[in-house]
Amino acid sequence: MDIFRTSVTLLICLFHSSLSETQSMCKGTLPPVKHAAVNSNVTVPCPVLSATEMEFKLFKGSDQVTSIYIKINDTSNNINKNKPAFSAILDVNYMDNSTSFILLGVTTNFTDLYTCEAEINYPPPFKKVPHTPQTIVLVEEKQETKRHDLCQHGSHLVLWVVFGTMAIYGLVMTCIVIILQVKCCQMDTSFKDRECRRKWQGVQHPTWQGFYTDTVV
């Protein structure tokens, strides 16, 4: 799994190598990676709300997918401009003035590098916020499916381990049997050689001394 994540990160890095310095993930440290299931919501951080009127822009790769213009204490003038087939809202925490885009009902097509930019429109002068947070979003299948796949891979691994163990055991036992047979044949051959030598030499019987009666007169 770690190899897959690293590969995706490197591919995104190469794909966006032609972007500007503020949008390139290949300069400095890599941005954080957020994993999400299909049809879930993903939060992409943005610069802090630091002026009365600001415009927040969200980029998917090098394309701007949405922008929201905010006036503090005048929510009726908040303008949300989303690209077709892209659903996102801007969430503002007025306790600490933190902001973030929320991607709604993400699909696998949402997997990409996201960059959030902000511009101060009021009070003047008009200027761009230098801080541009970046986030890598990886939309994956449901966790239940992944667990099922992992179980299948785990069962296959167990079968291969058992098969390998049995094969090694059979090979070791075969070697032991062959060695024992060779030793037994060597022992039988030496025994047979000794028996053959005895047969060829013959058995030396002792000479019997009898008493003979001399009958010749």
CATH number for position 102: 2.60.40.10
Retrieve residue 93's tokens: 């925490």
Task: Centre a 10 Å sphere on the Cβ of residue 68 and count the other Cβ atoms it contains.
Answer: 22
Q: Is residue 171 part of a domain?
A: yes
| Domain, as residue range, for 40 | 31-141
pLDDT at 2: 44
Which of 2-16, 44-58, 162-176, 200-214 is predicted with the least confidence, judged by mean pLDDT?
2-16
Number of domains the chain contains = 2
- 161 with 106, same domain: the answer is no
- 169 with 127, same domain: the answer is no
pLDDT at 99: 96
Label residue 98 by pLDDT band (50, 70, 90): very high
Highest mean pLDDT among 5-14, 19-28, 77-86, 116-125: 116-125
- 42 with 56, same domain: the answer is yes
pTM: 0.55
**pLDDT by residue (tens digit) across 169-213?**
888 888 888 888 887 777 655 555 555 555 545 555 555 555 545
